[in-house]
Amino acid sequence: MESTTIERPEPLPEPAPPPRRTRHRGKAFLAALLLLGVSVVVASRAADIDAFTPVPQLLAFLPWLLAPTGLALLFALLARWWIGLTWGVVVLGALAWYIEPYGKASEPTGTVLAEVRVMTSNVQFGRGTDALVKAVRRDRPDIVFVEECELTCSAALRDTLGDLSGKNPAYPHRRSIEGYGSTGSVILSRYPLKPADPIPGSMGMPGAVADVEGHPVRLQLAHPMPPLPGQLDTWRRELGALRAYAAKDTRTPTVLAGDFNASQDHAAFRAILDTGMSDAARLVGEDRTPTWPARTTPRLGAQIDHVLVSGKDFSAREVRFRELSGTDHNAVTVDLALHQRG
């Protein structure tokens, strides 16, 4: 019987590892891609413009761009891409510079005429109304600005907080723009209110003049269109209308509060501050505390809900951020002091 010998094929040689230069190019490419994206946003901030989508959306989260910048630096280091390392350090320094608070933190020193507690809350189509009522009863603000308070929300606030048939209604004075969905807004006040023209906008922005212990104070609710793709012109125009309101009367104490859909890193919002308004959160060192989105990324969000006050008239002592169930915005409560000018 003949024996057969089976010849086994020789094993194929293992593929050679990719050249080190090719691997370095891949890391350098990733670093360049990350740095390019962050650089466009930082350049817009430096040029004092809000540019085009997606720049305004990313500007709201400017501090968190430190993360992709740090990752880009790591890739550049691994690739030994020295130009990229220099680029990354420059971008990192620019981010650190612009993360600093914007605007003056000086406060008036005149005699205190009155102490006022102000709250603002976006209740997200009225879903956070019940939680807001509880927060109002706990914090006892003197003036409450409520955004996205549709018809059901408005009626609930009237029944629970402003029922004139009761002996001691908590908020007997109100100004509102009634509407569905996000278009309704309400100002509640312990102080008497005189009517004022609302600011025209996509969503309700009522105004009033409060009699705060004998001193007139302008009140204006802010709720411009968010900077959605395709809606940037509307967003800029409505923030511009808020700026015009702030600049129109710089002699009367003013409180401008609400959901601005903008942060201090947006040029259109900084233009409002440049009229002489101060962000109350900035005055107490809380200008980077996120207020939105409160449910999904509460630690990595943006501060787009603000209480702005005329800098020559108000000082701020304390600010509190309250998480409310039913809404993706935190409520903001500020303790203010109204000063005599001079």
Pick 190 or 10 by higher pLDDT.
190
Q: Write down the pLDDT at residue 10.
A: 67
156-165, 175-184, 258-267: lowest mean pLDDT where?
Answer: 156-165
Whether residue 339 has pLDDT greater than 70:
yes
Smallest CA-to-CA distance from 72 within 99, 39, 47 is with: 39
What is the DSSP secondary-structure string of 258-273? EE-S--TTSHHHHHHH
What is the DSSP secondary-structure string of 174-241? EEEE--STTS-EEEEESS-EEEEPPPPSSS---EEEEEETTEEEEEEEE-PPP--TT-HHHHHHHHHH
Q: Write down the pLDDT at residue 4.
A: 58
Question: 144: which strand partners?
Answer: 119, 188
HSE at residue 145, side-chain half, CA atoms within 13 A, is 29
Q: Write down the pLDDT at residue 16.
A: 59
Q: Write down the pLDDT at residue 294.
A: 82
13-17, 29-33, 67-71, 278-282: lowest mean pLDDT where?
Answer: 13-17
Average pLDDT over residues 283-307: 89
Which residues of the chain form CATH 3.60.10.10? Answer: 112-339
Task: List, edge to edge, every strand of the sheet that includes 143-147.
Answer: 173-177, 185-189, 143-147, 112-122, 330-339, 314-323
Q: Write down the pLDDT at residue 106.
A: 82
Average pLDDT over residues 210-214: 98
Average pLDDT over residues 229-257: 97
Whether residue 226 has pLDDT greater than 90:
yes
| Separation of alpha carbons 260 and 292, rounded Å | 11
Under DSSP, is residue 70 helix (H, G, I), strand (E, B) or coil?
helix
pLDDT tens, residue by residue, 112-152:
999 999 999 999 999 999 999 999 999 999 999 999 999 99
- Give the dihedral of Cα atoms 132, 137, 142, 144; nearest 10 deg: 10
Buried b or exposed e, range 304-335, using 16+ CB within 10 angstroms: bbbbbbbbbbbbbeebbbbbbeebbbbbbbbb
Report, in angstroms and rounded to the nearest whole number, the Rg of the chain calculated over CA atoms: 27
Average pLDDT, the chain: 93
Q: Write down the pLDDT at residue 24.
A: 77
CATH of domain 112-339: 3.60.10.10
| Separation of alpha carbons 288 and 282, rounded Å | 8
| Separation of alpha carbons 15 and 68, rounded Å | 34
Q: What percentage of the chain reaches a pLDDT higher than 90? A: 86
Phi, psi for 319 (deg, rounded to 5):
-130, 140
| Separation of alpha carbons 304 and 183, rounded Å | 18
Average pLDDT over residues 166-192: 91
pLDDT tens, residue by residue, 61-106:
999 999 999 999 999 999 999 999 999 999 999 999 999 999 888 8
Q: Write down the pLDDT at residue 1.
A: 53
Smallest CA-to-CA distance from 317 within 339, 299, 301, 298 is with: 339
Q: Would the pTM of this model clear 0.85, i.e. be above it?
A: yes
Distance of CA 144 to the CA centre of its chain: 18
Smallest CA-to-CA distance from 261 within 283, 309, 220, 228 is with: 228
Tokens coding 18 = 């990719």
Phi, psi for 102 (deg, rounded to 5):
-100, 140
Whether residue 22 has pLDDT greater than 80:
no
Average pLDDT over residues 211-223: 98
Tokens coding 159 = 């029944």
Per DSSP (E only), the strands in the chain are: 112-122, 143-147, 173-177, 185-189, 193-196, 207-212, 215-222, 254-259, 277-279, 305-310, 314-323, 330-339
Whether residue 3 has pLDDT greater than 60:
no
Q: Write down the pLDDT at residue 162.
A: 80
